[in-house]
Structure 1
């Protein structure tokens, strides 16, 4: 058995249309692309480390009318199949899980718009996108890659800063990902949310998601969802905190899966020079895009 550090070295990313993805995903690419979406599917879409688990738990709570026991029926990864997740020896775990699920299904992906299986667009599915400011996303992704044994080693913070800016991370460039989904929002059924808004006013944003899902929730149910999906609650919940994942895949002794869940932690990582450089690159890459991100609360 190769020591963990060796596994880390082997966890190289492969590319599809210039987008780096996990090699197991690329090896199962045709199966993923041929996935048959259904018109009543709801697809949760996020760039990595933008609040995926959080929005999943919110959506599940809405779906189950805040029945905590029902939301404990399975670990979060199994409640909403991750369509591009494939791990040998099973072919396409995410696809198989999704195909076995009764409708209406709630699925999730980190794929950028151009790599999404075409059937999602053809069936006019609903998409729920959560965007998080790039600086916090970078910090969170850095710590995640440090503890995730199936993603490449991030190297030093200085090295990772460049890697992230260049889009040489799993699922590609943050800039392209966010822009791609932002451009789809007026032509498709996309509810575009911001991580920072959910932090600021969870009740208001949860209400928006419920409406989008066609659910009418009363105040008490909404309040309960706010309470149950707080960072503190989810960090302690074995169904959401990934504590059931073997250490050989996620080593939480290096960094917890649910680390801080705050807005503005980038200020503890970015040097002044890095911040200036990043702002300059951001202006250039996001030119003409009308998104305003909140950088601190």
Structure 2
């Protein structure tokens, strides 16, 4: 069943999942996610996304805007910190004071926190003002907040390029980061266990089979990456691979600095690399999302920052899954020159 747009200015149809697909998802999740799909590529979202889909798509842009866009768990937070520091003349003091969640409004974060979640938080949290503040920060669309925000604005999104404002590259800058889909799947699996709102208690193999069938949020993965890859030569698009940042962080920093029109001295480079080293990064309270733990949003057994490496998928895949992944990747790269770097 699809919803026609009628008088809407949003060009894509929204469709319900088939009843048998919903029933299958209910077997794996602790609470059945209410997914819908959007557009001809059937990107999958939690239903609340539809509440702000038009405002996001038609969002007024400014030449000073900088977007960091990724398919989730592709090195987003790492890149956000790198981009923000370079754009703000390496102001470590402000970066430490202001959580990255406040420095970068997350366009579609609100879709993970529906009305039932908000009501539940208010009922069980004694400090109502604090609960309302959290709801305002993470459960409400940010399009209005962005309209009022001073320039320059730094914006995070996991939306595919087709669902962001259509003229985005004519006005703003976009840094897009891609990562090996096998590592993405493993990291998304842990992410869905970290955030209680997703609550995926089933084994990784079950998650993997849903992921490659485009039954996890904001899949299909390959369509997401290929849309950005096709725009990689636009002067306002910088396309990075997570594996490149892992292999040669100084080279990646230089590319980002050039893209933003900034220069980095050798001394500044050494300090920035140290700041962004995984050991330091995971201890950085401004970027590790630990402030959400006191609200009961996060599971006690998982961390937002996990391993910070490439190739960790090998510890999770059996022979059958490895072969399945190889075929899946090969099939999806047939029509493109996109190739993921390997890091030994």
Q: Please indicate, yes or no, whether the TM-score normalized by the shorter chain is above 0.5.
A: yes
Report 1:88-237 matches (<5 A): 90=136, 92-121=140-169, 123-151=170-198, 153=200, 155-187=202-234, 189-237=236-284
Q: Which residue pairs with 2:55 in the alignment? A: 31
Aligned equivalent of 2:31, options 2, 9, 14: 9
Q: By how many angstroms is 1:164 displaced?
A: 0.8
**Residue segments in structure 1 that go unaligned for 5+ positions in a row:** 1-6
Cα distance, 1:65 vs. partner? 2.4
Q: Please, what TM-score do these two structures have when normalized by structure 1?
A: 0.90
Q: Which runs of 4+ in 1 moved over 6 A?
A: none
Contact 2:247 2:343 in 1 (8 A): no
SS across alignment from 1:196? helix
Change in Cα spacing, 1:284 to 1:10, as seen in structure 2 (3 Å) is closer
Q: CA deviation at 1:92?
A: 4.2
Displacement of 1:148 in angstroms is 1.2
Tell me the secondary structure at the aligned position of residue 215 of structure 1: coil
Unaligned runs of 5+ in 2: 1-28, 116-134
Please provide the CA RMSD for this pair: 2.0
| TM-score (ref. length: structure 2) | 0.79
Alignment check: 8 A CA contact 1:62 1:215 kept: yes
Aligned residue among 289, 313, 338 for 1:242: 289
Shift of 1:290: 1.5
C-alpha deviation, 1:8, in angstroms: 5.2
**Structure 1 residue 11 displacement after superposition:** 3.9
Closer, same or farther in 2 for the Cα pair 1:113/1:265, shift >3 Å?
A: same
Contact 1:12 1:152 in 2 (8 A): no
Aligned length: 289
Cα separation, partners in 2 of 1:53 and 1:35, compared to 1, 3 Å: same
